[in-house]
Amino acid sequence: MNVAIEGLCLLESFPFMIQLSPRQNSLQNRQAIMRNDHARSEPTDLLSAAELHRRARPCSPDHRIDSAPEEPVLQGHLRFFRIGSEVSVHCVDATELCNKRSSGECPAGLSVNILLQGQVSFAVGAERYRCSAEVKPMGIALMLQEAEPFTRFLTAGMHVCKVNVSVSRQWLRERLGDAQAARVLQRNIRLWAAEPAQVQLARSLCALSEKSSTSTIAIEVMALQLIDAVVSAAENTAPSVAPVQLAQSADELRRMLEPYIQGECDLTGLADNLGMSVSTLQRRFKRLCGVTVMEYVRSQRLEQARRALLLQGMSLQQAAYIAGYDHPSNFVSAFKRVFGSTPAALVKAHRYPADD
């Protein structure tokens, strides 16, 4: 099932929590957990797939990412906090470096996100979502009675800034009672325009997370304030998000293709990221855009090559490489077919007469 929601934010809810018995959940053990988290979660400029997996694995045994271990996947700030065994906080302000899938299990409970910047795609259970905060910061709550499979689709070049606070089902039951906790968790996915106070809390959490000497008490206070605000306002939020079709327009499809213009255009990976089969992608793109996916990609690469020739003074061979051609003669033929003139003729037409 595919879902496209304007403004819907990322719910990256890998269970970054450890399981402790009630007897272990003393102040001393909580402080040890916090110290251990800070030691393992220092901000990093470049995060590889192996490092992402290393951080997720202790808390999500089924975590996997379809990337070579050494491949960089994020650049920027990323930090996790675990508070006891039932609460986790995740702050990210980073650029995604590849088109990959990162999967795990989203535990039963409440996961709240404030997306401050960027656009994300993910799947929960059998439904897929594509979400944006381009217009304004957005809030999203994932409320699950039972654990669900979760996959996050990274998008090369996308900068995402968000805060995630997750609490377990047991945490909710102990504080709200069984009946109210059940009412909260039956709501599934809830969307709202983040209120100024919520945005401020999220920004403050991000800022605190970037300091190596951050007080976990301060993190916990802000995180629980955010959870309280969401639970209190749950009755007034929009109805649970209903699935709708992805890619309703030609412009939307073309925007989705932008990351694939450069480099290899993997139709299977693209279709998977869009939540459809390759045949459905081809058919829909042809109907909406009038050309096939590969015809469109080739034309856009040729347009990039034309701009490189005219605006950057690149050589014919360099322009051919940008367009994806190994042999300049093939590039010249394709260029003339699309633009009606050869690259040399085009460049000549844009020279000063004195240069001829």
Write the pLDDT tens digit of every residue in 8-27: 433 333 332 223 333 333 33
CATH of the domain at 256: 1.10.10.60
Residue 43 has pLDDT above 70, yes or no: no
Average pLDDT of the chain?
A: 76
Kindly state whether residue 244 falls inside one of the protein's structural domains.
no
Q: Are residues 50 and 105 in the same domain?
A: yes
Average pLDDT of the residues in 29-43: 39
Instruction: Pick the most confident of 131-135, 187-191, 225-229.
Output: 225-229
Q: Are residues 319 and 345 in the same domain?
A: yes
Kindly state whether residue 241 falls inside one of the protein's structural domains.
no
- What are 265-274's contacts with CB under 8 Å, separation 24+? 265/293, 265/294, 265/297, 266/99, 267/293, 267/294, 269/99, 272/101, 273/99, 273/121, 273/153, 273/155, 274/2, 274/246, 274/247
Kindly state whether residue 255 falls inside one of the protein's structural domains.
yes
Query: Which amino acid is residue 86, in one-letter code?
Result: E
- Residue 206 host element (H or E): helix 196-209
Q: Are residues 56 and 81 in the same domain?
A: yes
Q: What is the pTM of this model?
A: 0.57
- Residue 165 host element (H or E): strand 159-168
Residue 4, pLDDT score = 41
In 3D, which of 268, 260, 255 has the Cα closest to residue 301? 260
* Least confident interval from 128-132, 191-195, 233-237: 233-237
Q: Are residues 217 and 257 in the same domain?
A: no
Kindly state whether residue 10 falls inside one of the protein's structural domains.
yes
Q: Are residues 170 and 303 in the same domain?
A: no
CATH of the domain at 171: 2.60.120.10
* DSSP assigned state of 202: H
Residue 297: alpha-carbon gap to chain centroid:
23
CA atoms within 13 A on the CB side of 42: 4
Domain boundary (166, 201, 236) is at 236
CB 162 within 8 A of CB 32: no
Q: Are residues 163 and 224 in the same domain?
A: yes
Give 168 or 4, the one with higher predicted confidence: 168
Domain boundary (236, 270, 293) is at 236
Token pair belonging to 203: 């920004």
Residue 117, pLDDT score = 92
Q: Are residues 205 and 60 in the same domain?
A: yes
Q: Which residues contact 23 (CB under 8 A, 6 or more apart)?
A: none
Q: Are residues 321 and 184 in the same domain?
A: no
Q: Round to whole Å and give the CA distance between 156 and 95.
A: 8
Kindly state whether residue 140 falls inside one of the protein's structural domains.
yes
* DSSP assigned state of 327: S
Q: Are residues 71 and 137 in the same domain?
A: yes
Kindly state whether residue 208 falls inside one of the protein's structural domains.
yes
Residue 20, pLDDT score = 30
Token pair belonging to 123: 């799947």
Token pair belonging to 93: 């302000």
Burial 328-345 (b: 16+ CB within 10 A, else e): beebbebbeeeeeeebee
Q: In which band, very low, low, confident or very high, does the pLDDT at 151 lie, cut at 50, 70 and 90?
A: confident
Residue 333, pLDDT score = 93
* Least confident interval from 84-88, 193-197, 236-240: 236-240
Token pair belonging to 236: 């007034």
Q: Are residues 211 and 268 in the same domain?
A: no
CB 43 within 8 A of CB 67: no
Q: In which band, very low, low, confident or very high, does the pLDDT at 58 lie, cut at 50, 70 and 90?
A: low
Q: Round to whole Å and give the CA distance between 45 and 72.
A: 10
Q: Are residues 219 and 276 in the same domain?
A: no
| Adjacency order of strands within the sheet including 119-124 | 2-5, 127-132, 119-124, 148-153, 101-106, 64-65
Domain boundary (236, 261, 296) is at 236
Q: In which band, very low, low, confident or very high, does the pLDDT at 159 lie, cut at 50, 70 and 90?
A: very high
Average pLDDT of the residues in 273-277: 70
Q: Are residues 260 and 224 in the same domain?
A: no
Residue 266 has pLDDT above 60, yes or no: yes
Count of domains observed in the chain? 2
Q: Burial of 136 by CB count in 10 Å (0-12 exposed, 13-18 middle, 19+ buried)?
A: exposed
Kindly state whether residue 278 falls inside one of the protein's structural domains.
yes
In 3D, which of 92, 96, 107, 100 has the Cα closest to residue 62? 107
Kindly state whether residue 243 falls inside one of the protein's structural domains.
no
Percent of the chain with pLDDT over 90: 20
Residue 132 has pLDDT above 70, yes or no: yes
CB 240 within 8 A of CB 190: yes
Q: Round to whole Å and give the CA distance between 10 and 132.
A: 9
Q: Round to whole Å and give the CA distance between 329 and 327.
A: 5
For 267, the domain range is 250-355
Task: Return the residue matching tokens 């039956």.
Answer: 186
Residue 331, pLDDT score = 93
pLDDT in tens, 300-348: 889 888 888 877 788 999 999 888 888 999 999 999 998 888 988 878 7
pLDDT in tens, 73-126: 999 988 888 888 889 888 999 999 998 888 877 888 999 999 999 987 777 766
CB 320 within 8 A of CB 277: no
Pairing of strands 127-132, 2-5: parallel
Token pair belonging to 75: 């650049």
